[in-house]
Amino acid sequence: MLQNDVTDTAVTLRRATAADLPAIALADGRAFGVHYTDTDLDDIRALFEPDRYVLAEDPDHGIVGITGDFPFDVTLPGGAAVPAAGVTWVSVAVTHRRRGILRALMAEQLRAFAGAGLPVALLTASEGAIYGRFGYGVATERRDVEITRRRAALRPDAPDPGGVRQATTAEVRAVGPELHERWAARTPGALSRSDAWWDSILSDREHRRGGASALFHLVHADGYVSYRIDRSTQTCRIAELVTATDEAYAALWRTLLALDLSETVSWWNAAVDEPVQHLLADPRQLRTLGLFDGMWARVLDVPAVLAARRYAAELDVVLDVHDPFLDLGGRFRLTGGPDGAACTPVTGGEPAVALGIAQLGALVFGGGRAGSFARAGLVRAADPDVLRRFDAAFRTERSPVHGTEF
């Protein structure tokens, strides 16, 4: 039996085995309103590593709680990639909610990650109020955007690099991984993508198409875009746009905006600072339909993460990181700049900046703003100059994007 903080003593925690997959899928499907088919189970099995799943079990009900994770590498500002756990499949049975089962699962899982030396855990959240208490903060945001193609003229001087060709899914499977790696190296928050993930995404199952066509692709030497056509609304829906150079970005957008018979180009997963609006003669033609939290991050090893990233400006500051859930915080001296950084635990002295572990998770990829947290009382610095420097140092040239939904 594993660590168990559940108030209901009948419920115990254990690691999953391969044989648990059908019961896990049944429990998960009940929580999320999905009936998984045998084909779905085969797809899920390709990414399922049983040891990575913690189950809560009630002798009278079977599995009543689940959490699992996928292994990724994630890019920090400056380009270093660190191992990360992508938490997934989180649910508690409707009959067993609000008795501390999620809390017990989170504690068990996060302690195991920390014990294994993982510097950071990541997840995407079904609701915004669940994960802050466990130390997760919003690390990436996504914009749901659309462009009415007829009104979206490009700037007369917008680059026209060319070099785009239409490609099959098999061709994207061949060239995509290298392009994606190059994109990930320059994108904070980007997740690495294993062969199993590539196969899963490009298997393009019908239930993932939202009523639109199977995937079409455009490929450039430095990037690609995958999209679907929804003929009922004459919409080209971008599934993903991955570019390693600005030339590829401009060339692929120019081609997308030439898609006759599509009234609208929509993208549910655009970055906060998506440059396409600056390629348009009228930037207002990129309409934002919504702004949402994307990936949440939970720092598990403060010095490892802070020393591995780079900073936009030179910084020498003592931080007081508050982590009531796992007690992995403390006082740290962080010195760093664009070329390197060091972070070591310190004792004594007055910290210049105090913040919660969840706010650190939000700042670490360059998405969150220390100044904004400070105005809400979540980052505290007695000296406004220190706060200004801290805020500036954590900023990144481009907004973080995680790129793979998990």
Ligand X SMILES: CC(C)(COP(=O)(O)OP(=O)(O)OC[C@H]1O[C@@H](n2cnc3c(N)ncnc32)[C@H](O)[C@@H]1OP(=O)(O)O)[C@@H](O)C(=O)NCCC(=O)NCCS
Shortest gap between Cβ of 105 and ligand X (angstroms)?
A: 8
Which CB atom, from 315 or from 357, has the smaller least distance to ligand X? 357
- CA-nearest of 317, 373, 374 to 350 is 317
Residue 338 to residue 309: CA distance in whole angstroms:
9
Please, which residue, 108 or 274, has the CB nearer to ligand X? 108
* Least distance CB 30 / ligand X (angstroms): 9
Number of residues that bind ligand X (CB under 6 A): 17
**Rounded-to-10 torsion of CA 196, 222, 362, 373:** -160
Judged by beta carbon, residue 77 or residue 100, the one nearer ligand X is 100
**391 Cβ neighbours under 8 A, 6+ residues apart:** 369, 370, 371, 374
Among 14, 30, 99, 173, binds ligand X (CB under 6 A): 99
CB of 44 to ligand X, least distance (A): 16
Tokens of 313: 């400006």
Part in contact with ligand X (CB under 6 A); list of ranges 94-102, 158-166, 304-312, 322-330:
94-102
- Residues 24-53, mask of contacts with ligand X (x by CB under 6 A): -------x----------------------
Which range touches ligand X (CB under 6 A), out of 47-55, 98-106, 163-171, 195-203?
Answer: 98-106
404: left (phi over 0), alpha (psi -120 to 50) or beta: beta
Closest distance between ligand X and the C-beta of residue 64, in Å?
9
Which CB atom, from 31 or from 318, has the smaller least distance to ligand X? 31
Question: Which amino acid does the sequence have at 4?
Answer: N
Q: Which of residues 170-229 bind ligand X (CB under 6 A)?
A: none
Query: What gap in Å lies between CA 184 and CA 178, rounded to an integer?
Result: 10
- Residue closer to ligand X by CB (options 125, 154) is 125
Which CB, 253 or 325, lies closer to ligand X? 325
Q: Indicate which single residue of 100, 336, 367, 400 sits in contact with ligand X (rule: CB under 6 A).
A: 100
Contact between 2 and ligand X by CB under 6 A: the answer reads: no
Taking the least distance from each CB to ligand X, the nearer of 23 and 31 is 31
Residues between 103 and 142 that touch ligand X (CB under 6 A): 103, 125-127, 129-130, 133
What residues between 64 and 93 interact with ligand X by CB under 6 A? 90-92
Residue closer to ligand X by CB (options 31, 80) is 31
Instruction: Name the site residues for ligand X (rule: CB under 6 A).
Output: 31, 90-92, 97-103, 125-127, 129-130, 133
